[in-house]
C-alpha cells in the first residue's frame, strides 16, 4: 500500500509459533509453541475415544440421545477453537523508503493475541499509514526495529 508520503509499505500478519515467554513476560497460559499443538491433539484423541467409543460399544444396552452427540461435538471443539482464536499474531510493516529524500528504510513489528485483534490492528496500521505516513500510534503494539 502507498502511504500519504509516497512510500510503499508492505503490511502483513502471521501466526506466531515462537516458544512461550518466561520471566516477566510469562502469562499463565499453556498455549505457547508447537508443544501446545501436540498436547491439544493428544487430548482430543483421548477425549474423542472416550466420548465416541462408549456409546458405540454399549449401543445395544444404552439409548444415546442426539443431545449427547451435540454436547460431545461442543466439548471436543471448544478447546481447539479457543486455542486457535487466542494464538499470538505477529504484525509487520516495512518499507524500503524512496530515493532522493530522507525517508529511508523502516521496519515495524508488533505482537497481538487473537485473530480478531490482529485483523483490527491491521486495519488500524493501514489507516495510520494512509493518514499519517507511519504505522505506529500512541498505544500501538507496533514498534520500530533496527
- The secondary structure of 59-122 as a DSSP string is TTT----HHHHHHHHHHHHHHHHHHHHT-EEEEEEEE---TTSS---EEEEEEEESHHHHHHHH
Q: Is the confidence at residue 145, as pLDDT, over 90?
A: no
CB contact at 8 A, 63 and 106: no
Taking alpha carbons only, the member of 110, 111, 108 closest to residue 145 is: 108
Q: Is the confidence at residue 31, as pLDDT, over 70?
A: no
pLDDT digits (tens, 9 = 90+) for 38-51: 887 888 888 778 77
Which range, of 1-10, 18-27, 41-50, 66-75, averages the lowest pLDDT? 18-27
**Confidence at 120, pLDDT banded by 50, 70, 90:** very high
Question: DSSP letters along 74-91, please?
Answer: HHHHHHHHHHHHT-EEEE
pTM recorded for the entire structure: 0.62
Amino acid at each position: 500500500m502507498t502511504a500519504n508520503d509516497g512510500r510503499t509499505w508492505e503490511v502483513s500478519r502471521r501466526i506466531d509459533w515462537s516458544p512461550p515467554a518466561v520471566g516477566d513476560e510469562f502469562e499463565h497460559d499453556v498455549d505457547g509453541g508447537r508443544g501446545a499443538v501436540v498436547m491439544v491433539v493428544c487430548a482430543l484423541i483421548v477425549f474423542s475415544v472416550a466420548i465416541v467409543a462408549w456409546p458405540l460399544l454399549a449401543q445395544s444396552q444404552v439409548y444415546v440421545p442426539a443431545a449427547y452427540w451435540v454436547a460431545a461435538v461442543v466439548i471436543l471443539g471448544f478447546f481447539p477453537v479457543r486455542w486457535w482464536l487466542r494464538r499470538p499474531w505477529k504484525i509487520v510493516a516495512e518499507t524500503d523508503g524512496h530515493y532522493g529524500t530522507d525517508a529511508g528504510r523502516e521496519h515495524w513489528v508488533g505482537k497481538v493475541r487473537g485473530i480478531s485483534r490482529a485483523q483490527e490492528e491491521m486495519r488500524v496500521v493501514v489507516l495510520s499509514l494512509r493518514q499519517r505516513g507511519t504505522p505506529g500510534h500512541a498505544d500501538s503494539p507496533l514498534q520500530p526495529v533496527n
